[in-house]
Amino acid sequence: MRILIVDDDPDIRTLLSFQLKKLGHSVLTAADGYSALNKILQFIPDIVLLDIEMPGINGIETLKRIRTFDALKNTPVIMISAHSEQNYIIDTIKSGASDYILKPFNIGLLLGKINTWINSMLKDNWKNLEPQKTQALNVGMYFVELSSKHIENGKPLSYNEAHIASKLLIDAVKEYGNLFVFDIFAENEDTLFVHSLKSASLFYIFANKMGFNEEFCFNMTMGGLLYDIGTALVPFDLTFKPDKLEGEELMAVRRHVTQGVEFLQKEPQMPSVVLDMCRGHHERPDGSGYPYGLMDADVTTPMRMAAIVDTYSALTSKKVYRRAYTSNEAFNIILDSEREFDRDLVRNFLTPVAFDKTKKSPHFYI
């Protein structure tokens, strides 16, 4: 993504530029509104971060001029300001701003907002896809977003909607193979929706190659869409924090497991396989996992499979603190962690994957 940072504070420009470049974005900076307007049509950013209080023309006037360019009428512009008055914020939005964040800002919160806007543009990449792919992605996005709202509001999940989203994704994977999901999301951050769609398709391939029956494969796919739903309750400033989490912050993130289980248990039709995947995707056979510290036979097969796929998906996704590992690198890391994962399952997971050294994405075959 191309991101333009407009701020008269050189420290803020440097900080944001550094963090966004680490995530693989192309970044251009400007110290004032005039400089931004002179550069913007040559750069054509996907997102603009715009300070309001600047010398020369302020951020509001700069925003209004940006909106006069046809190529930038719908470009997300996130305003940055120390003004917290509600009427001021409303007037800023009415002037054409897409979002607003207060100074001094938390870098994790700002990165989270940027990430939200990046992924809101996902559908633009689906325009020329086959109808079956588009339908599976649209329904999948709707379902994950709806589930996130339900867990935030304390409402129960609809099993029927989970069933429909899982069925459409499986049909698309059967028709086109798993790679289409990875190609579409190759440049997107590891948000819950992207992570869930990638994981769900991986789980179907994994379970299918293991020789499990269609019901088990179906439930594993549904689990892929839902096993990490508790992360919807993790604040942006922790999810996208570029530094190591410690103490209460780490505990707050780890609570996503029990929060997810509590949410899924509210739906009486929820398959036990899905609950197992949610409950145990951070458990390890050697007892080193969390939150329950399960060991040996208490770590069920769905839990073991979920641990492998979750780790693989996390390693091959861009994070605010590191690049995405290639498929080969991810598997070597998993294989080197001998005690943490079921080696037989890991080798079975390797079976459906054929690596193309020119790509980060794996190739999958049904």
Domain ranges of the chain: 2-105, 127-364
Q: Which residue in this structure is represented by tokens 């990490």?
A: 228
Kindly state the helix (H) or strand (E) to which residue 226 belongs, with its residue range.
Answer: helix 214-226
Mean pLDDT of 213-236: 95
Task: Give which of 227, 188, 190 is closest to 305, Cα–Cα.
Answer: 227
Residue 326 has pLDDT above 90, yes or no: no
Task: Give which of 263, 137, 271 is closest to 201, Cα–Cα.
Answer: 137
Alpha-carbon 339 to chain mean position: 28
Mean pLDDT of 41-58: 93
Q: Which of 94-108, 176-190, 208-222, 322-336 has the highest mean pLDDT?
A: 208-222
Mean pLDDT of 144-156: 92
The correct CATH number of 2-105 out of 3.40.50.2300, 1.20.58.1000, 3.40.50.300, 3.30.300.30 is 3.40.50.2300
Contacts of 202 (CB under 8 A, 6+ apart): 178, 224, 309, 312, 313
**pLDDT score recorded for residue 366:** 33
Q: What is the pTM of this model?
A: 0.78
Residue 280 confidence class, pLDDT cut points 50, 70, 90: very high
Looking at per-residue confidence, does 156 or 121 come out higher?
156
Residue 67 has pLDDT above 90, yes or no: yes
Strands 47-51 and 77-81: parallel
Q: What is the pLDDT of residues 15-27, one digit of tens each?
A: 999 988 877 789 9
Residue 216 has pLDDT above 80, yes or no: yes
**pLDDT score recorded for residue 313:** 87
Looking at per-residue confidence, does 39 or 119 come out higher?
39
CA distances from 265 to 78, 123, 156, 222, 258 (A): 38, 32, 9, 14, 11
Q: Give the CATH number of domain 127-364.
A: 1.10.3210.10
